[in-house]
Amino acid sequence: MNYNHEHIDNSKEEITDKLDIIYISILVFVAFLLRLYQINAQSVWFDEYVVIGNVKTCGIKDFLSLLYINSPDYGISPASAVILYYWIHLFMNFEWIWRLLPIAIGVFSILLTYFFAKTVAGRNVAFLSCLIFALSPFNIWFHQELKCYAFLQFLSLLSFFALMNFMFSKKKLLIWLMIGTTANILLPWLHATYILVPAFQVLIVFLFIKKVDFKNMAIWSVQCVVSAVIWVVWFISLSPFLFNVMDDTKGKQQSIFKFIIPFFGSDSVGLSDDLLPVWRTNSLESVSPIWKTILCYISLADYFIVIFFLLLFVFLIIYVLYINFRKEKVKNEKLFLIYSFIIPILIFFILAWGTQKNLFHPLYFFYALPFLYILSSISVLGLKLRLVKIFLILTFIFAYSYEAVSLISFKNRTDYKSAIHFIEQNAGLNDTVFGQRIVTFWDIGKIYMSRRDLNYKSFYSLYGGFNDIKREIKNNGKNRVWLMIEPFTLQFIYHGDPVDKITKALTLEGYDVYWKVFPGHYNLYVAQIKKQREVNDMVNTQELLNPDLNYEYLLKEFSIYSDNEKENQQNIEILKKYLSTWPLTPWINLFVLGAMVKDSQYFIADKICDYMISKYPNFADVYLIKGFSYYLEGDKNEGKKYINIAFNKKPLLKQFIQPLLEIYEEKYLLKENKYTNFKIIKRSLFPIGDIVIYFSLKFGENNI
């Protein structure tokens, strides 16, 4: 009889193992299918380019230095950049393979969640919650990102899983402690805000003060503090706050709806601000009739997800208060999961509500979404009414499938790749391409450009672009140029469709304009512009200006105003060319100031630099622009003075800028290391913009 019992038990274990294998195989298949579908059609976008922009030209040391110079937010947490640097180097010319690494890590997060959920509530809950996880549009999107988020999610889940086992399993405690410590140490190196994960864990541990051995509580708390301190020392040593930004977030979130959607509606493609497939940005204009009909009803799935998750969150808070008040017995692992979910959300919610800033964003507590899926599955599968249970399960799967398919069936990122390829296939030899500099294609396009004969020129306002196009066609002996615009970013500035405005102006000027649209997250418009006729129509260039921008006021703001009216008008014309709106973000200011200096508009550039310095005295890059301006004007001493200030405020600049000064001062043949530095600067995204490239060419053109 004992043998038979053993045989029966072994058979059950074999069935259990087979069920796990079947469930996991289904989850892995669905997850990879949704994340790999049309992956090669997805272009790199701006946040990804910040990390990969210099990979092809930099050694790892210079790469990390430029990362911090260009974007300190990335530089203070460089782990994902290092990982991606070496990964991209393995497959330099296969962009779609780059995305396989974060996708694989994302799928590992789903598998880890399966075992997490199985430990807490059993196999059925594990399968349902991970099926939702695999279908989740928000996770599909961010598992594809060439950024830190897939790594963050996996390590956070691993850390919480280790903590749960360390507190309650009573087995292999040292191994779980080591796993949790390793995960916590790595997290802030991937993203600064994830230093809060060990902080939240200390709070959660102390909520179990009567249920967990005090020694274990103390050990875990100590490792949380130590893991945070290691990164904090690095953070302080880098002085990250030298990169000051214009704070435009205050007051943007004003309604309770704005707080609910970022988290509880993060998987709702029709509502989430993060998920913008082509059908949203085109208002269904370029979508097939079948899809147009299907997508008109996506709000049903959207609001089901939002309402269910919000009600669940409220229920969990009431449930926690109830069991603590009544001192009800609840499985420790289940209570741990609830605390791990609601504590970070409540803290971020309170911070966002109190500061009125955009802090309540799921990317800051990305790991909590799988907890939400587990708790939702526990709630649904725990219902006593069989028909209601089956209905909710099917509704959940249908809603998430609906959302997932609506996302992956269209391009989720701006289609820089197709736009650049279209221009290169159709442009003539040495054609000029005008591009809107304050949007992202200008830099991202470098990844896809293969023709070196094309002359890419930037413009900063519709007014400036219009005049530059006229001048180019008049002076270069050709009757054709190309134009690329992202109208989404401009329509708010110009209070209307910028494509219509510039098309109308060019048509009245005697040009034929032919547009091609490349739908995506932000639509790209590419135009071929031809001179066809001479006309006498008056072009109303006022429509090409921001109606909210008072240029006379800016003259006074920048201390440029003069008693000479003619001089004021000349200066206003310069401002119209370079400024489409004000204030600009600091890095766009660098592009604008660099262009002014490059075009020899030293006086106005110098005044705006002074204005920026008075507002942001630690913004080192502005001192650098001001110093280059003096150099180009011929005032070497003043130039050196301001460049040295920039070096003092941001020492990493020196290793890249000093070779340029040596070119200017000594004018001798470049050595290999200086040529390398020149290439790095030329590909660099942020710190100095076009002016550094121009300065390099001006004083080193005979040597390069």
pLDDT at 703: 41
Nearest of 60, 90, 94, 92 to residue 78 by alpha carbon: 60
| Single pTM value for the model | 0.88
- Please, which pLDDT band fits residue 436 given cuts at 50, 70 and 90? confident
Q: Which residues contact 64 (CB under 8 A, 6 or more apart)?
A: 75, 78, 81, 82
What percent of the chain lies above the pLDDT cut of 70?
A: 87
Q: Is-contact 102 154, C-beta < 8 A?
A: no
| Position 177 pLDDT exceeds 50 | yes
Q: Which residues contact 604 (CB under 8 A, 6 or more apart)?
A: 558, 560, 571, 574, 575, 596
- Please, which pLDDT band fits residue 669 given cuts at 50, 70 and 90? very low
* Cα–Cα distance measured from residue 646 to residue 613, given in angstroms and rounded to the nearest whole number: 11
| Position 447 pLDDT exceeds 60 | yes
Mean pLDDT of all residues in 145-159 = 95
pLDDT at 195: 93
Query: Which value, in Å, is the radius of gyration of the alpha carbons in the chain?
Result: 29
Of 51-65, 70-84, 671-685, the range with the highest mean pLDDT is 70-84
* Cα–Cα distance measured from residue 328 to residue 322, given in angstroms and rounded to the nearest whole number: 8
pLDDT tens for 324-359 read 787 777 788 899 999 999 999 888 888 877 777 777
Q: Which residues contact 129 (CB under 8 A, 6 or more apart)?
A: 113, 117, 370, 373, 374, 376, 377
pLDDT at 537: 63
pLDDT at 441: 59
| Position 596 pLDDT exceeds 60 | yes
pLDDT tens for 307-317 read 999 999 999 99
How does the average pLDDT of the chain come out, rounded? 84
pLDDT at 179: 95
Mean pLDDT of all residues in 180-187 = 95
Q: Is-contact 456 443, C-beta < 8 A?
A: no
| Position 491 pLDDT exceeds 70 | yes
* Cα–Cα distance measured from residue 480 to residue 512, given in angstroms and rounded to the nearest whole number: 10
pLDDT tens for 93-144 read 788 899 999 999 999 999 999 999 999 999 999 999 999 999 999 999 999 9
Q: Is-contact 144 45, C-beta < 8 A?
A: no
pLDDT at 234: 87
| Position 704 pLDDT exceeds 50 | no
- 8-state DSSP, 670: P
Mean pLDDT of all residues in 39-62 = 82
Which is it for the CA torsion 321, 322, 328, 329, positive or negative?
Answer: negative
pLDDT tens for 382-409 read 988 899 999 999 999 999 999 999 999 8
Mean pLDDT of all residues in 644-665 = 81
pLDDT tens for 201-241 read 999 998 887 777 888 888 989 999 998 898 988 888 876 55
* Cα–Cα distance measured from residue 482 to residue 460, given in angstroms and rounded to the nearest whole number: 16
DSSP string spanning 127-151? HHHHHHHHH-HHHHHHHS-SSSHHH
What percent of the chain lies above the pLDDT cut of 90?
A: 39
* Cα–Cα distance measured from residue 366 to residue 35, given in angstroms and rounded to the nearest whole number: 18
Phi, psi of 540, rounded to the nearest 5 degrees = -85, 90
* Cα–Cα distance measured from residue 217 to residue 206, given in angstroms and rounded to the nearest whole number: 7
- Residue 414, token pair as written in the block: 């701006």
pLDDT at 14: 58
pLDDT at 136: 96
Which is it for the CA torsion 382, 388, 394, 396, positive or negative?
Answer: negative
| Position 667 pLDDT exceeds 60 | no
| Position 373 pLDDT exceeds 70 | yes
- Residue 228, token pair as written in the block: 């945070």
pLDDT tens for 536-575 read 566 778 888 888 889 999 999 999 988 888 899 999 999 9
Q: Helices (H), strands (E): how many in the chain? A: 34, 5
| Position 84 pLDDT exceeds 70 | yes
Higher pLDDT pick, 121 / 246: 121
- 8-state DSSP, 269: T
Q: Which residues contact 606 (CB under 8 A, 6 or more apart)?
A: 626, 629
* Cα–Cα distance measured from residue 317 to residue 315, given in angstroms and rounded to the nearest whole number: 5
Higher pLDDT pick, 605 / 4: 605
Calculate the CA 611 to chain-centre distance: 29
pLDDT at 237: 80
Which is it for the CA torsion 304, 117, 218, 226, positive or negative?
Answer: negative
pLDDT at 700: 54
pLDDT at 216: 83
| Position 244 pLDDT exceeds 50 | no
Task: Lay out the sheet containing 480-485: strands in order across.
Answer: 455-459, 432-436, 480-485, 524-531, 511-518
Q: Is-contact 377 279, C-beta < 8 A?
A: no
Residue type, 653: L
- Please, which pLDDT band fits residue 50 given cuts at 50, 70 and 90? confident
pLDDT at 145: 92
